[in-house]
Amino acid sequence: MPKELIQIEPQQPQPPACDWRGTKPEFRKGTWCYSGTPQNLTYLEMPNPRPWQPSDQDWKLPENWKQILLDGMKERLEKYRSFRLFMDICVRCGACADKCHFYLGSGDPKNMPVLRAELMRSVYRRYFTLTGRLFGALAGARELTEDVVKEWFYYFYQCTECRRCSVYCPYGIDTAEITMIGRELLNLLGCNTNWVLDPAAKCYRVGNHLGIPPHSLKDNLDFAVDELEEITGVRVDVPIGKKGADILFVAPSADYFVTPHYFTLMGYLALFHEIGLNYTFSAYASEGGNFGLFSSHDLMKQLNAKIYDEAKRLKVKWILGGECGHMWRVINQYMDTMNGPADFLETPVSPITGTRFEHARSTKMLHIAEFTADLIHEGKIKLDPRRNDHWRVTYHDSCNPARAMGLLDEPRYILQSACNHFYEMPENTIREHTFCCGSGSGLGTEENLEMRLRGGYPRAMAVRHVRARHDVNLLACQCAIDKATLPPLMEYWVPGVEVAGVHELLGNALVMKGEKKRETDLRGQPLLEEASHA
Ligand code: SF4
Ligand code: SF4
């Protein structure tokens, strides 16, 4: 195990001379993300585009920055009842204190959820409560200064908005929502990170986070069709922009372009072909993910709007969504109220099994794991789990599908049907208690790597446990960010464990009509002898 991170101690072993309100963040290399470029701020029509970095002394804030922040806070206190409630009701019981992976990985007290929220509450008390105005520090209030702005930036970009802390809070305080407001307020001053704004700007201009233009999207899908044919002997058809299809399929753009996501895409294509689904991809709604969620409610709404717009244009009946994490938080918690109601669509009904998915009647959008689990349950597809016998699999519940939509059993049902060797990680690290990958909510950048490895430490230790006990060599998940950020996390803390999507494993096991004898899995890895002779 690497030496430099194994010592996880409080960052200040001796209590500071002053209370927490007087301490300042240290912008140490490896623990913060680069600022949004002026170009991206301009693309997104955001204020105060300028060259600056968080490590600079002078952040070049607008002259009236304080008034801008306080006005922004006032507006949001009036607009979001949850925000005001979360500012008022914390009793500082400490139940959340040791539940954040960033606190566990860094030992920094300001990464305790209660203290992270207090960074903003202290300002709220000073400017928006009578006791705070009258009694100041005695009432837990503090002045809004440039150092406070810097502290907000440092710690609101050390929260992955994973909501694990909220599971343990007796009042249901959702620190992720406080972080979201914190980032939104910082945006008003032009203080944001490029790893959030760059994908959002690409989505704004080109239609997806990776900036893949329509012709490249088609090329990539065609390439996946060729590769799938090479492995299975079956040539599949991939419709794009097909008017009148039953179903619009929307996936995170990483699925088209990067590995291991791409193997998940091959799994979808194999499945849709095998069941004869009348569906279509879209070159316009070519991104299900939404980095607006990590920036502001307005940007989230804008980026999300194209899904319903495209469903309307193509005259589909309902929408199916691929494996992603935050995409589903936006869909499940915000889409129908932000951009709906989508009355022009129907409640999703599987054309293969006839199952009506009542729980999706509001959004009209179904998660692929729900769709596939139903196919397996109704005996509509044939699986040969021996084709995954070279994998000893565990499952990482991605924070958003698990905690924001309760998608806990369906992925497990698929994995247990498609794999012979499946092992759960310890109970307090899975399902709604799952630990974040440490890089969600736009923190998956290289310059922030130390913090990512620290934040991912609790998840990695749970994987290490099942590796030691069951020789696990594959971590399955269903989130595009996880698929990008768990591989380096595993490489650092638990070498020998690879990362895969649920539908990659489903695609490996799927027995297709007319297929040739399979020699390899979807990523080209040879099957065990017994499986290839089956
Ligand atoms: S668990 Fe809830 S009430 Fe208790 S300190 Fe944390 S946020 Fe406050
Ligand atoms: S939402 Fe997640 S990252 Fe943020 S404070 Fe809570 S546990 Fe930590």
- Please state the three-class secondary structure of 2-28 as a single string: CHHHHCCCCCCCCCCCCCHHHCCCCCC
Closest ligand (CA of 96)? 1
The CA 333 to ligand 1 mean position distance, Å, reads 23
Q: Please tell me the distance from the alpha carbon of residue 118 to that of residue 140, in angstroms, as a whole number.
A: 9
Task: Report the C-alpha gap between 360 and 314 in whole angstroms.
Answer: 20
State the amino acid at position 208 in one-letter form: N
CA distance 419 to 415: 6
Q: Which H, E and C letters describe 340-390, residue by residue?
A: CCCCCCCCCECCCCCCECHHHCCCCEEEHHHHHHHHHHCCCCCECHHHHCC
Do 176 and 403 form a contact (C-beta atoms < 8 A)? no
DSSP-assigned letters across all residues of 469-523: HH---EEEE--HHHHHHHHHHHHHHSTT-EEEEHHHHHHHHBPPTTPPPP-B-TT
Which one-letter DSSP state was computed for residue 35?
B
* Residue 480 φ/ψ, nearest 5 degrees: -65, -40
Task: Give the pLDDT confidence score for residue 534 in this predicted structure.
Answer: 56
Q: What whole-number distance in Å separates Cα of residue 382 and Cα of residue 357?
A: 22
Closest CA to 422 of 441, 396, 395, 459: 395
Half-sphere CA count of 426, side-chain side, radius 13 A: 13
Helix (H, G, I), strand (E, B) or coil at 211: coil
Measured in Å, residue 209 CA sits from the centre of ligand 1 at 35
Q: Are 336 and 342 in contact (CB under 8 A)?
A: yes
Coil, strand or helix: which one is 248?
A: strand
Q: How far is the centre of ligand 1, averaged over its atoms, from the C-alpha of 96 (Å)?
A: 6
Amino acid identity, position 448:
N
CA 174 to ligand 2 centroid distance, Å = 9
Ligand 1 centroid vs 77 CA: distance in angstroms?
Answer: 20
pLDDT of res. 20: 86
Residues 6+ apart with CB under 8 A from 181: 76, 80, 83, 120
Tokens for 486? 């768990």
Helix axes of 113-128 and 146-156: crossing angle, nearest 10 degrees: 150
Backbone angles phi, psi at 340, to 5 degrees: -100, -160
Q: Tell me how crowded residue 443 is: count the other CB atoms within 10 A of its CB.
A: 27
CA distance 304 to 335: 7
Torsion angles phi and psi, residue 252, rounded to 5: -65, 140
Checking phi first, is residue 301 left (phi over 0); if not, alpha (psi -120 to 50) or beta?
alpha
Asked, as a colleague might, if the bond just before 341 is cis with ω within 30 of 0, I would say: yes
In this structure, are residues 363 and 519 in contact, taking their beta carbons and an 8 Å threshold? no
Q: How many residues does the chain have?
A: 534
Q: Closest-lying ligand to the alpha carbon of 443?
A: 2
Beta bridge partners of 83: none
- The tally of CA atoms less than 13 A away on the side-chain side of residue 294 is 33
Burial 6-32 (b: 16+ CB within 10 A, else e): eeeeebeeeeeeeeebebebeeeeebb
Distance CA 363, CA 340 (A): 8
Cβ–Cβ < 8 Å for 147, 24:
yes
Ligand nearest to the CA of 329: 2
Cβ(474)–Cβ(499) below 8 Å: yes
Q: Both tokens of residue 21?
A: 């309100």
Pocket test for ligand 2, best of 163, 326, 459 (most atoms within 8 A of CB): 163
Residue 40, classed as helix, strand or coil, is helix
Give the helix, strand, coil percentages of the chain, each rounded to 5: 50, 5, 40
Per the structure block, which two tokens stand in for 400? 């958003």
Measured in Å, residue 160 CA sits from the centre of ligand 2 at 6
Nearest to 472 by CA among 460, 454, 458: 460
Token couple for 303? 């980026």
- Site to probe by mutation for ligand 1, drawn from 92, 120, 166, 178 as the one with most ligand atoms within 8 Å of Cβ, is 92
H or E element at residue 131: helix 130-135
State the burial class of residue 427 (Cβ atoms within 10 Å of its Cβ: 0-12, 13-18, 19+).
Answer: exposed
Token pair of 393 as six digits: 């699999």
CA of 148 to the centre of ligand 1 (A): 22
Contact (CB, 8 A) for 351 and 280: no
Collect all residues with Cβ–Cβ distance below 8 Å to 52 and sequence separation of at least 6: 35, 58, 59, 60
User: In the structure, which protein residues have their CB atom closer than 6 angstroms to any atom of ligand 1?
Assistant: 90-96, 113-114, 169, 171, 173
pLDDT of 532: 63
- Provide CB contacts within 8 A for 165, sequence distance 6+: 96, 99, 100, 113, 173, 175
φ, ψ of residue 403 in degrees (nearest 5): -90, -25
The ranges of the chain with pLDDT < 70 are 1-14, 532-534
At 323 the pLDDT is: 97
Residue that the structure tokens 């900036």 belong to: 211
Strands 365-367 and 474-477, sheet pairing: unpaired
Ligand 2 neighbours by CB, cut-off 6 Å: 99-100, 102, 113, 116, 159-165, 175-176, 179
DSSP state of 277: -
- Distance from C-alpha of 401 to C-alpha of 423, rounded to nearest angstrom: 20
pLDDT at 533: 55
